Chains A and B, each alone.
Chain A
Amino acid sequence: MTEFALDTSLALWIIAGFGLAWVVFGWWLGRRNENHEDFALAGRNVGFAFATATAMATWVTSNTTLVAPQLTYQFGLWGMVGYSFAALGLILFAPMAKRIKQLLPNGYTSGDFIRLRYGQFAWAVFIIISIVYAFGWLVSLGMAGGILLESLSGLDYHLGMSAILLICVLYTLFGGLRAVIATDFIQALIIIVGVVLVAFWLMDNVGLDTIHQHLTDDHPKLLDVLFPASLMFLFNNIFFGLGEIFHSNVWWSRALAFHRNVAYKAYLTGGLLWLPIPIVTGFIALAAPQLGIFPPSADMVGPAVAAAVLGKVGAVVVFIVVFSALASSLDSLLAASADLLTQDIYHKRINKSASDAQLMRVNRWMILALGIMTWLFCLPRIATLGALLNFAGAFVASTIWPIVLGLYQRRLTGVYAGLAMAVGTLTGLIGYFTIGFYVAALLSCAVSGLICAVGLLYTKPTFDWQQLDEGGTSDAHQ
């Protein structure tokens, strides 16, 4: 019988305790939501501290706590360093967030922008990409919850996955974005303290020299800076990260919810705070061979090593940190995806005269429906987290150029933007299946960029920025 780092019952108690606290907190915060704008965008008045914390905490996710160690275990040093470059997404989004806030002071979603800027064709392509990505991320987060519990406590994967999904759905349902941002703030503090503790204990217990010697002897490629597969993976991962942030309503809704003049500083600071976290979580994986830990699936390596080194107390710390990281992303994605479906599909397509109360109600139903669908997709454990995420890279990287040019360039038209996203995605997918995952995002972004460049060369009409302001007079055209 295996000795797991955590008793199954203790793991369940931690989940129940944190889950109850967050659901009650979400309900308490949700009492202040008077209308749909409060629910979906926290009243558009989030200050710097909460804004920075939510930017950082949302980006600390299963990607950082489970996939960063996985990629380090597979790709060595470049896996670790390369993963931290995903912070570039947040940092480069900082100026764009400022621009978004100015161009769309009354906007709700990234879909709003694409529809108004590029029209129906590009919007349809964009919505498909957004939905595929959102489900990919939601499913990866749900799976990560199950994997975490299984590797630390031996609890059945399906039970752990269901518990984490249920908790996040409940408090997002009650509190909306206000609850998401407030819990993100607390979760960010837990994550930072926990990650520092794990790194300190690991270096104190195992030691850098020992780890280095063992890797040199038995796993030399993990220390090789010219490790071919990791070199191929590096920029693909960067473009994947950029695509995720640039297109996703998770980040757009925050830019729109932040107080004026806060968005730029918050994303920049959040990115800089996030940068070292994958280095720490990835480093944990390098100790695995020295400790004799060879997990059944590479995405289990982080929790398995931390629990082995830190013992039962450490396992509790790791468990809470990873649980917080998963929750901070799951709630954000649930809220942002539900906003997208409510605004872009229900409000703009099905019921244009929907009342505020109807929008609130539909938004909550969307959160619930997303939660249930995610649960269904998570039931079969279809792929490793890394594989699942890299598949989504082909989709999101195609949006990078259309988003950047759409925000700043008046010449690119919807036909070219839509084609860029569609053809870019298809090319990325072909690359994913015929060459490998390490070219999916790179090819997608490159082809999309080429089509956008052609569009800029051959398009004469220029876009009127005033068309972006649906709900009133924007300060963009003052």
Chain B
Amino acid sequence: MLVFAFSSSVQAQQLQLDVPTAPVNEGYFTVSVSGMDNTSGLFIEVANDPQFTQNYQKIPALGDFTQLSLSGFDDGTYYLRAMADGQHSAVQTVTVEHYPLWQALSLFAAGAALFALLVVSLLLLHRNAYRSPNNGAQQ
């Protein structure tokens, strides 16, 4: 579940951080920032607590871009805020919930079975084509 937490912080609020509005099942998501006068020097702060002390990361934006693609997050709730020109945005919260492993492994197994069937079929059909005189091709 994704939760938005609008901070009551008194810090400047013209800086706005937008995060996904749906549960994050893949561990990656994109955030974007608006309300900046100067697009350089933008950072996103990420942590596991609203005080930004646990597993704190300060992530720089690339060049003048105001959007960041983030990835590799484990299950959990993450607190994010944008920082630029000494100002902070309101704190936003993203909860990452990966797909259940049973679901992933089921799909993996189904794919593996279908793939094995295809490879075996192709190899057998190819071998038979060059053994049978009625199958269109003779060596």
Residues on A facing B (Cβ under 8 Å): 1-4, 73-76, 92, 95-96, 99, 102-103, 154, 215, 218-222, 226-229, 231-232, 234-236, 238-239, 242, 289, 292-298, 300-301, 304, 400-401, 404-405, 407-410, 438-439, 442, 445-446, 449, 465, 468, 476-478
Q: Would you mind naming 20 contact pairs between A and B with Cβ atoms under 8 Å apart?
A: A1-B40, A2-B40, A2-B64, A92-B122, A95-B123, A103-B136, A215-B72, A220-B74, A222-B71, A228-B98, A229-B25, A234-B111, A239-B114, A294-B60, A294-B70, A298-B71, A408-B135, A409-B125, A439-B107, A442-B111
- Chain B at the A interface: mostly helix, strand, loop or mixed? mixed
Take A99-B137, A232-B104 as given contacts and tell me if A294 and B110 are in contact as well, using a CB distance cutoff of 8 Å. no
What's the Cα separation between A23 and B98 when bound, in Å? 49
Q: Are A231 and B105 in contact (CB under 8 A)?
A: yes
- With both beta carbons as reference points, the residue of chain B lying nearest to A236 in the complex is identified as B111
By Cβ-Cβ distance, the 7 closest A-B pairs, closest first, are A235-B111, A219-B72, A2-B63, A465-B136, A228-B104, A408-B125, A296-B67
A interface footprint on B88-118 (CB within 8 Å = 1, 0 otherwise): 0000000000111101110110111011011
CB contacts between A and B, total, < 8 Å: 163
Query: Bound state CA distance, A289 and B26, in angstroms?
Result: 17
Question: Please, how many angstroms separate the alpha-carbon atoms of A226 and B100 in the complex?
Answer: 11
Determine if B119 and A92 form an interchain contact, defined as CB atoms under 8 angstroms apart. yes
| CB atoms of A229 and B27 under 8 A apart | yes
Provided the pairs A4-B63, A235-B107 are in contact, do residues A219 and B100 lie with their beta carbons within 8 angstroms? no
Q: B112 touching A296 by the CB < 8 A rule?
A: no
Chain B neighbourhood of A409, CB < 8 A: 125
Per a CB cutoff under 8 Å, which of B61, B73, B115 touches A238? Answer: B115
Q: Residue B34 at the A interface, CB < 8 A? A: no
Contact A235 B115 (CB under 8 A): yes
Given A231-B105, A476-B137, also A296-B72 (CB < 8 A) = no
Residues of A within 8 A of B125 (CB): 404-405, 407-409
Extra inter-chain contacts (17) besides given A73-B71, A295-B69, CB under 8 Å: A1-B40, A2-B64, A74-B26, A74-B28, A96-B122, A219-B73, A228-B98, A228-B99, A228-B104, A235-B108, A295-B65, A296-B69, A297-B69, A404-B125, A405-B125, A408-B125, A408-B128
State the CA gap A289–B73 with chains docked (Å).
12
Residues on A with C-beta less than 8 A from B65 are: 295-296
Bound together, the chains give a CA A296 to CA B18 distance in angstroms of: 13
Range for the number of chain B residues in contact with chain A: 35 or more
Residues of A within 8 A of B27 (CB): 74, 221, 227, 229
Contact A238 B72, beta carbon cutoff 8 Å: no
Name B64's closest neighbour in chain A (CB-CB).
A2
CB distance from A96 to the nearest CB of B (A): 8
B118 near A229: Cβ-Cβ < 8 Å: no
Taking the closest CB of chain A, its distance from the CB of B55, in whole angstroms, is 8
Chain B min CB distance to A6 (Å) = 13
